[in-house]
Amino acid sequence: MSTYNCWMLQPRLPWHLDFARRVDQHRPVTIDRLDGLSPADRHALAQSIATFQVGEHGEGEHLLSAASESQATERYKDALSMFIVEEQEHARLLGLVLTAIDAPLRTSHWTERVFVMLRRLKSLRTEVLTLLVAELIALSYYSSLSRGVPQLAPVFERICEDELRHIDFHADTLPRHLNQWSPAVRMAVRMLWNVLVTGASVVVAFDHRKALRVARVSPWRFMQDVWSDRQGLDQRLFA
């Protein structure tokens, strides 16, 4: 079940202040018990989490320079910098999980390379739209693991809460940039974006099916979660 649509109704601070008050909030997190997970479960989780860990630890240089080129405000760029730090913090937390499982970190994965290539196609708008595909996928993935693997819930609940805010942040700040496109271009981009989300959800549901099975989430259920969130976000970005 999607939680995105409830979250976006809550009032909040301006984004640069919201990010600033949460700096270092995850520092105290530790993982001390993994009992009840079989070796096969641990292996499936390790393979899957290592892939997401790769995707979380980008430096964000291209995103920040795209923001500068689009004449974004200083407040937006500050918020964006702290957003990138939060994503790196997710990489650190996922690294803790992998260490607890006694699994190695990955250095790259083909899905991450495809996302990076797509994000760098043109501008801040295309970069953030592609980023939002990854955010939607990540939200359903982390919320599946937080509900289905209680041993790891302290980590995944925190990451999930951040991902909800990230989607909200981009949904608040991106439409003014999208409105610079003509209605015809916006409609074409909207269709492409929806196709991209759908395609990515199918690939991830298949690629990570063993970890989702540990969380007792079927690939179909995972895809439905992503599609439900996609509908709400599509309305906010393009309607």
For Fe ion, the binding residues (CB under 5 A) are 56, 87, 90, 135, 163, 166
Helices (H), the chain: 4-7, 15-20, 39-56, 61-69, 74-101, 110-119, 124-148, 153-173, 175-178, 183-207, 209-214, 219-238
Measured from the CB atom, the residue of 61 and 102 that comes closer to Fe ion is 61
Measured from the CB atom, the residue of 87 and 225 that comes closer to Fe ion is 87
CB of 34 vs Fe ion, minimal distance in Å: 22
Measured from the CB atom, the residue of 169 and 222 that comes closer to Fe ion is 169
CA 76 from centre of chain: 19
Measured from the CB atom, the residue of 101 and 133 that comes closer to Fe ion is 133
CB of 185 vs Fe ion, minimal distance in Å: 26
| Under 8 Å between Cβ of 101 and 45 | yes
| Residue 119 neighbours by CB under 8 Å, 6+ apart | 62, 63, 126, 127, 130, 131
How far is it, in rounded angstroms, from Cα 100 to Cα 94? 10
Which position has the token pair 């797509």?
A: 118
CB of 236 vs Fe ion, minimal distance in Å: 16
CB of 10 vs Fe ion, minimal distance in Å: 17
How far is it, in rounded angstroms, from Cα 42 to Cα 48? 10
Measured from the CB atom, the residue of 41 and 163 that comes closer to Fe ion is 163
Using alpha carbons, list the distances in angstroms from residue 111 to 114, 186, 208: 5, 26, 12
CB of 55 vs Fe ion, minimal distance in Å: 8
Question: Of all residues in this chain, which one has the CB nearest to Fe ion in the complex?
Answer: 166
